[in-house]
Amino acid sequence: MDNVLTLVWFRKDLRLSDNPALAKAANRGDILPVFILDDVSQAMVTGASAWWLEQSLKSLDDSLGGALNVFCGDPLVIINKLCDCNNISHVVWNRCYEASEVTRDKYIKSALREGGKTVETFNGRLLYEPWQVLKKDDTPYKVFTPFYRRGYQGVFDQFPEPLPIPKRLVCVHKDSDSIFIDELGLTPKKTPWFEKLESQWSVSEKSAHRSLASFIDHKICNYETDRDFPSQDTGSHLGPYLHWGQISPLQVVSQVRRQVPFPRSESFLRQLVWREFSHYLLFYFPRIAHRNLKSEYDCFPWGDNPTDLTRWQQGQTGIPLVDAGMRQLWQTGTMHNRVRMICASFLVKNLLIHWKHGADWFMDCLLDADVANNSAGWQWVAGSGADAAPFFRIFNPVTQGEKFDAHGEYIRKYIPELSALPEKYICSPWLAPASELAVAGVELGVTYPKPMVDLKSSRQDALDALKHMKQENARTQQAE
């Protein structure tokens, strides 16, 4: 067999197994593995996510025997130079789907081809690519359920088997211009925050598979019923691994269907399809990252009160369940899914702050920060998305706490200053008699804030704002 050197451009597919681009290259001969931090990717890695990326790169570099070439700059210039210096005519990568990535990749692909290179790109990130799932009239789905039925429900056993790690994987010597991963400046300072993350997460392809295995062994069977209770650790923790591609969705599906009889696995796999749907929406409607998908929400009177925003970010709203969620986010780089909805609802509806501010904060703090999932999630809560929750569904964080954190375990864990309160008042300390507060060592406004808004009246304000928005829209429509 000929041995032809191929350049593999790694992006959000930082793994060796089930990596179609890598498999193709390895099949042709030796490989030159490359990671490039460019303007497009840099704009998308902030905060916690940058820390994860740095760990991912180190782990990938290890798996490649230290051969990963790392650069910072313009990918076209760098790839061209690498091709020239190493006499490479073949470049491969796995596709990304965010608008700026698509634009960049299209440009680079055509430029490389004009320069006489062969470029091949693959799907290593989604079960189906966006253009593979369309309605009968060839337009994209905007509603989850029909999307789910069309391509996924009941046919999880029809996806192909994921690719193994290439049997022969030989990297050429490292390019002399390659910099060290640390030099990318992803985590400029060794802060206590990063150290905290380090103690909680192991970032590698192996760890991703360990997480999946443990989830399948212990949690997936009761996922549907348990997943709503934030005090229990019922999640798969696969979010950040999926984002950076330490594991592929195809590998998840394959492993799940091998070990879990179908009806039991449905509710989890459905979540994986929400991830697909988010990527799909972002591909067809790139504006969801920044603007309301439903334009009638453009005149919703959302504000950006910086003081309120800060209190929300810091978990000092005085509403225990919201504060617990926001503190979990800050301390762990993740937040329980139901609590995400509750915290988001509180910001957008009770505080009337634009979802974009919440989305930005989540992008900064979440280890699984992902533009597709994040913007789809926020627009879902805000009511402005494609298949969104109606705006008038306003979560009551007290009721939600009583339903899903009945003993207050989750709240106590993240708000130690309330931990001695009896469960009757843990979700609403402002209703506790002074004597109970005193016994628990709580002084409202001192040891823990008073609620920054009244839940009942702020809810009414939100509904009034919605009414206002509808009137505005009716008026402009009439004017047209």
Q: What distance in Å separates the CA atoms of residue 188 and residue 46, rounded to the nearest whole number?
A: 12
Which residue type does 6 have?
T
Q: Per CB under 7 A, does 456 bind DNA? A: yes
Nearer to DNA, 389 or 444 (CB): 389
**Minimum distance from residue 225 beta carbon to DNA (Å):** 13
Phi–psi pair at 66, nearest 5 degrees: 80, 20
Q: Which of 295, 312, 296 is nearest to 359 (CA)?
A: 312
Q: Which of 27, 58, 459, 465 binds DNA (CB under 7 A)?
A: 459
Q: Which of 52, 144, 215, 362 binds DNA (CB under 7 A)?
A: 144
**Minimum distance from residue 341 beta carbon to DNA (Å):** 6
Q: Which of 389, 420, 444, 465 binds DNA (CB under 7 A)?
A: 389
Size of the site for DNA (CB under 7 A): 22
Q: Per CB under 7 A, does 400 bind DNA? A: yes
Q: Per CB under 7 A, does 392 bind DNA? A: yes
Which of the stretches 201-209, 302-310, 318-326, 460-468 binds DNA when contact is defined by CB under 7 A? 460-468
**Minimum distance from residue 114 beta carbon to DNA (Å):** 44
Tokens of 7: 């350049």
Q: Per CB under 7 A, does 418 bind DNA? A: no
Other beta carbons within 10 angstroms of residue 16's beta carbon come to 19
How would you classify the pairing of strands 118-122 and 69-72? unpaired
Q: Per CB under 7 A, does 468 bind DNA? A: no
Which of the stretches 3-11, 114-122, 169-177, 455-463 binds DNA when contact is defined by CB under 7 A? 455-463
Site residues (CB under 7 A) for DNA, limited to 322-361: 337-338, 341
Residue 462's alpha-carbon distances to 295, 353, 455, 459, in angstroms, are 18, 11, 11, 5
CA atoms within 13 A on the CB side of 334: 18
Phi–psi pair at 85, nearest 5 degrees: -65, -30
Which residue reads 């300390």 in tokens? Answer: 429
Which of the stretches 80-88, 90-98, 325-333, 384-392 binds DNA when contact is defined by CB under 7 A? 384-392
215 with 237: CB under 8 angstroms? yes
Q: What distance in Å separates the CA atoms of residue 363 and residue 47, rounded to the nearest whole number?
A: 8
**Minimum distance from residue 453 beta carbon to DNA (Å):** 13
Q: Per CB under 7 A, does 466 bind DNA? A: yes
Q: Per CB under 7 A, does 465 bind DNA? A: no
Q: Per CB under 7 A, does 467 bind DNA? A: yes
Q: Per CB under 7 A, does 225 bind DNA? A: no
Site residues (CB under 7 A) for DNA, limited to 270-289: 271, 274
**Minimum distance from residue 119 beta carbon to DNA (Å):** 37
Nearer to DNA, 86 or 337 (CB): 337
Q: What does 53-110 look like in DSSP terms, one character per residue?
A: HHHHHHHHHHHTTT--EEEES-HHHHHHHHHHHHT--EEEEE---SHHHHHHHHHHHH
29 with 136: CB under 8 angstroms? no
CA angle 329, 335, 337 (to 5 degrees): 155
Q: Per CB under 7 A, does 403 bind DNA? A: yes
Q: Which of 135, 210, 393, 475 binds DNA (CB under 7 A)?
A: 393
x-or-dash pattern for DNA, window 15-54, by CB under 7 A?
----------------------------------------
Q: Which of 49, 40, 12, 38 is nearest to 362 (CA)?
A: 49
Q: Which of 119, 455, 458, 469 binds DNA (CB under 7 A)?
A: 455
**Minimum distance from residue 102 beta carbon to DNA (Å):** 26
94 with 124: CB under 8 angstroms? yes
**Minimum distance from residue 227 beta carbon to DNA (Å):** 8
Q: What distance in Å separates the CA atoms of residue 206 and residue 208, rounded to the nearest whole number?
A: 5
Q: Per CB under 7 A, does 70 bind DNA? A: no
Q: Torsion over CA of 236, 62, 279 and 376, rounded to 10 degrees?
A: 60
**Minimum distance from residue 355 beta carbon to DNA (Å):** 15
Q: Per CB under 7 A, does 452 bind DNA? A: no
Sheet holding 90-94, edge to edge: 69-72, 31-37, 6-10, 90-94, 118-122
Nearer to DNA, 420 or 465 (CB): 465
Tokens of 204: 């590698």
Binding footprint of DNA on the chain (CB under 7 A) = 144, 271, 274, 337-338, 341, 389-390, 392-396, 399-400, 403, 455-456, 459, 463, 466-467
